[in-house]
Amino acid sequence: MIARLAPQSITRDIGVLFGFATAAHARAVAFLILISLAAFLPGFFNIPPVDRDEARFAQATKQMIESGDYIDIRFQDEVRYKKPVGIYWLQAGVVRAAEAIGVPQAHTTIWLYRVPSLIGAIGAVLLTYWAALAFVTARGAFLAALMMATCALLNVEARLAKTDAMLLLCCVAAMGVMARAYLTQSAGRDIPWSHALILWTALAAGVLLKGPLILMVVGLAALAVSIADRSARWVLRLRPLVGILWILLLVLPWFVAIMGRAGESFLEESVGQDLLAKIFRGQETHGAPPGYYLLLFWVTFWPAAPLAAVAAPAVWRYRREPALRFLLAWLVPCWIVFELVVTKLPHYVLPLYPAIAILIAREIERRQLSVNPHLTRFTVLWPILAAVIPAAAVWLVVYMRGQFAWLAWPFGAAGLIFGFYAWRLYDVEGAERSLLRACLASILMTFAVLGVAVPLMRPIFPSLALIDLVRNDDCRNPLIAAAGYHEPSLVFLLGTRTRLVDGSTAAEVLRGGECRYAIVESRQDRAFAQRAELLGLRYTLRGRLENSFNFNGGRAISFAIYRTEPQR
């Protein structure tokens, strides 16, 4: 009955809020693409390179293109073997294609490097819809995909030139196939070859993107349901022998090539310095105690997070059902592992969020959400986050003297209104309509924060401002030394030759010839001046950059830019 009425219900409920209606899978997919673009595109083109991970990935890809070496991964002269080569190949393919069609300055156009993440995020939304169809009707699958499209964490990852959005796509594709194999065991037949190809190709792509993480997500889920059922025979339906050979065929060529090039240093950095270091200690000050992801979940999975609380009692009550058993196996074992690993970053648990979205959609569809007032009060998060986050972002813009900050207020105010009614009418119209209003509030918040506020926060992107101070018509290819400010965005924007040094070495670089600049952060001024005086260096002050802010360092910074005096 629910399945038969789903198209009309979706038309009625969503058409009112969004002015559009879906009646079949094709329309649902088209509508999800439109929602995803509305959620992911604001700020996509005009947010400058973000330090540090995004700029490191983009610079390593840029060096691949410059050198023509698509096997080795380097950031300037340093090897970068923490992640495999997959994302670099995808980014390089986009940039080379943009060059071929005449996009100007494609090498330093950061949004081109973000295109794989955008594709990965949209693909993950669509694959969540497809995976959810194994558990719920088209109506519930649409709601689950909508939760992912408006999810705060995925909205961030869709705008960053990193691995995580594409990895999410691979994980959802693999888990969607596994769900079908597990839930249709009684059919007694292997899954179609097309599904097997999706599964094993997704696993291979995930390994090339981020190493063994996808194998952990898929492997722990398969192990958990097999232990619960006391049988792993369903795994044979996935054609594992052929699949493993297919993975090796896709993955081994690059691993053999990089091992031949780098030898043991590849394993030392990728396994010893990256993987094992994250497990046993807080890498790069990102350590946190267990419970970190549970606490952060209420913000990173906004706006659907409050419904996880009211769905939890029903999920626990029906946990022995095969569908819920599989979804919990997807979610719980990996979540525990992530909470126990010492190094914690918000995006690590992103591959588990589709399982939560499907669990929530399933309980919405079955009308099993709790009415306990102590749980339903969590829906207050909708108006709070819809109001506070845009307001805080706009305040930061004004504080940092950003122009046109007022443009963010209409979006923030509209987000507040929809967030308020999502909460206020929850008891009257139910969770589904409140969720739809909250999703619209999320999109409006995205416009306010990422579409307007963040791009206007130019003081937190000093690398962009420094470009104008070292541009000169009579100096086409300058050598630049940066003292005290070593963010990778500076190398990406100013060129691979940029030297990251201290104040004393910056003076040495200036002495080396004409067409040279030194960007000296204020803490390095004295060392630079003392060494320049000792060398008898002749230089001129090109300009100063004041009132900037190092987001990673969490402090205000200022710069002086010097240039060697031309010889006469």
> Which phi and psi (to 5°) does residue 545 adopt?
-125, 115
DSSP labels for 388-433? HHHHHHHHHHHHTT-TTGGGHHHHHHHHHHHHHHHHHTHHHH-HHH
**Residues with Cβ < 8 Å from 500, sequence gap 6 or more?**
76, 482, 486, 490, 491
Q: Give the residue, 378 or 93, on which the prediction is more confident.
A: 93
pLDDT tens for each residue of 77-129: 888 888 899 999 999 999 999 999 999 999 999 999 999 999 999 999 999 99
pLDDT tens for each residue of 410-424: 887 888 888 888 888
- Residue 478: the pLDDT is 86
Q: Give the residue, 63 or 375, on which the prediction is more confident.
A: 63
Per-residue pLDDT, averaged over 49-60, amounts to 94
**Residues with Cβ < 8 Å from 173, sequence gap 6 or more?**
127, 131, 198, 199, 202
- Indicate the pLDDT class of residue 284, thresholds 50, 70 and 90: low
Q: Which amino acid is at 532?
A: A
Distance CA 441, CA 212 (A): 36
Name beta bridge partners: 540.
563
Per-residue pLDDT, averaged over 309-324, amounts to 94
Per-residue pLDDT, averaged over 198-208, amounts to 96
Residue ranges of the domains in the chain? 25-279+309-365, 377-458, 461-564
**Most confident of the following: 48-52, 68-72, 118-122:** 118-122
- Residue 4: the pLDDT is 39
Distance CA 155, CA 42 (A): 10
Cα torsion 406, 387, 458, 507: sign: positive
- Residue 143: the pLDDT is 96
CA 493 to chain centre: 21
Distance CA 213, CA 274 (A): 12
pTM for this model (two decimals): 0.91
Verify cis geometry, omega within 30 degrees of 0, for the bond prior to 303: yes
- Residue 22: the pLDDT is 47
Q: Which amino acid is at 65?
A: I
Q: Average pLDDT of the chain?
A: 87
> Which phi and psi (to 5°) does residue 269 adopt?
-80, -45
- The answer to whether 353 touches 154, Cβ cutoff 8 Å, is yes
The 10 Å CB-count burial string (b at 16+, else e) for 115-129 is bbbbbbbbbbbbbbb
Which three-class secondary structure state does DSSP give residue 497? Answer: coil
Distance CA 458, CA 184 (A): 54
Per-residue pLDDT, averaged over 521-535, amounts to 93
- Indicate the pLDDT class of residue 383, thresholds 50, 70 and 90: confident
pLDDT tens for each residue of 434-474: 999 999 999 998 998 898 888 888 888 999 989 888 877 57
**Residues with Cβ < 8 Å from 430, sequence gap 6 or more?**
none
CA 499 to chain centre: 29
Q: Give the residue, 273 or 372, on which the prediction is more confident.
A: 372
Distance CA 89, CA 74 (A): 13
Q: List the helix and strand counts (H, then E) for the chain.
A: 27, 7
Query: Is 483 a residue whose pLDDT tops 50?
Result: yes
Question: Alpha helix (H) ranges present in 105-229?
Answer: 110-132, 138-149, 152-157, 164-183, 193-210, 213-229
pLDDT tens for each residue of 20-48: 344 578 899 999 999 999 999 999 999 99
191 CB neighbour count, 10 Å cutoff: 20
- The answer to whether 114 touches 161, Cβ cutoff 8 Å, is yes
How would you class 543 by CB atoms within 10 Å of its CB: exposed for 0-12, middle for 13-18, buried for 19 or more? middle
- Residue 82: the pLDDT is 81
Cα torsion 350, 351, 355, 357: sign: positive
pLDDT above 90 covers a percentage of the chain that reads 62
Per-residue pLDDT, averaged over 228-253, amounts to 94
How would you class 406 by CB atoms within 10 Å of its CB: exposed for 0-12, middle for 13-18, buried for 19 or more? exposed
Distance CA 462, CA 60 (A): 20
Angle of CA points 43, 64, 501, to nearest 5° = 80
Cα Dmax for the chain: 88
Which three-class secondary structure state does DSSP give residue 475? Answer: coil
Nearest 10 degrees: Cα torsion 243, 353, 88, 54: -170
Name beta bridge partners: 559.
521, 545
Angle of CA points 59, 352, 45, to nearest 5° = 35
> Which phi and psi (to 5°) does residue 10 adopt?
-65, -40
Distance CA 288, CA 431 (A): 33
- Residue 183: the pLDDT is 93
230 CB neighbour count, 10 Å cutoff: 6
Q: Which amino acid is at 370?
A: S
- Indicate the pLDDT class of residue 549, thresholds 50, 70 and 90: confident
pLDDT tens for each residue of 119-165: 999 999 999 999 999 999 999 999 999 999 999 999 999 999 999 99
